[in-house]
Amino acid sequence: MSQAPATVSRNHEPARVSIAWRVFTAPTYLGLALIAIHVIDKLWPAAIWFTMPWKMAGWGPILLDCGLCAAGAGHFAKRRTTILPRRDSRVLVTTGVFRWTRNPMYLGMVLLLVGVCVIAGSATVWLAPPLFVLVVDRVLIRGEERMLTERFGDAYRAYGQQTRRWL
C-alpha cells in the first residue's frame, strides 16, 4: 500500500506528521533517555555488568558522539544550511560523515547513551538506547525524510538508496 507524497505546510513541516514530531525534538528525547537511565540505575539496578575500571570505557562512545555531532554540524555550516531539522534546508548535504550515515547526529546521541549505560554499569539501563532509536526513527526521522523528499525529490531518494539511515 503506497502513501501519497507528503505536502509541506506553511511552517515547512510535512502535512502528515505526528504531534510528537511537531512538539518534541531530539534533544528532548535524549534528555528523557538520560533521565530514565539515571532513575533506572538508582531505583532498579539489576545485574551489574560493568564495574571500575571498566566503567571508564563508557567515555569512548561519548567522545565518538562529540566527534560525530561536531562533524555533522560542521558540514551543515560549511554548506550554509540549517542544522535544525524542521527548517528549510538550502542544500542536501551528502559529504563527510553523511556519506556513511544519513543521521550522524542521531547516531552520536545513541553513542552518548551507550557510553552513559556503560558508566552506569547495570543491565536494566540498557533499555534506554534501543527505545531511543525506536522513537527517534519512527517519530523524528520519518518526518524529516518526508520533508527532505518533498524539498529535494529524486536527489534525496537517490541519496537514501546509497546511504543507510543509521549505519
Would you give the distance in Å from CA 152 to the centre of its chain? 21
Higher pLDDT, 136 or 24: 136
pLDDT of residue 7: 44
Q: Is the pLDDT of residue 48 over 90?
A: no
For residue 39, the tally of other CB atoms under 10 A from its CB is 11
pLDDT of residue 17: 53
For residue 67, the tally of other CB atoms under 10 A from its CB is 13
pTM > 0.75: yes or no? yes
**What would the mean pLDDT of 18-40 be, rounded to a whole number?**
85
**What would the mean pLDDT of 125-139 be, rounded to a whole number?**
95
Residue count of the chain: 167
Q: pLDDT tens-digit profile of 64-97? A: 999 999 999 999 999 998 888 777 788 999 999 9
pLDDT of residue 2: 38
Q: Residue 77 to residues 24, 67, 91, 105, 108: CA-CA distances in angstroms? A: 24, 15, 11, 14, 18
Q: Is the pLDDT of residue 4 over 60?
A: no
**Please, what is the angle between helix 154-162 and helix 142-152, to 10°?**
130
How far is the C-alpha of 121 from the C-alpha of 136, rounded, in Å?
Answer: 24
Locus of grid cell 542544522: 83
The H-assigned helical ranges of 10-167 are 19-23, 26-43, 59-78, 104-120, 128-135, 142-152, 154-162
Q: Is the pLDDT of residue 14 over 90?
A: no
pLDDT of residue 161: 96
Q: Which of 6-10, 114-118, 121-125 has the lowest mean pLDDT?
A: 6-10
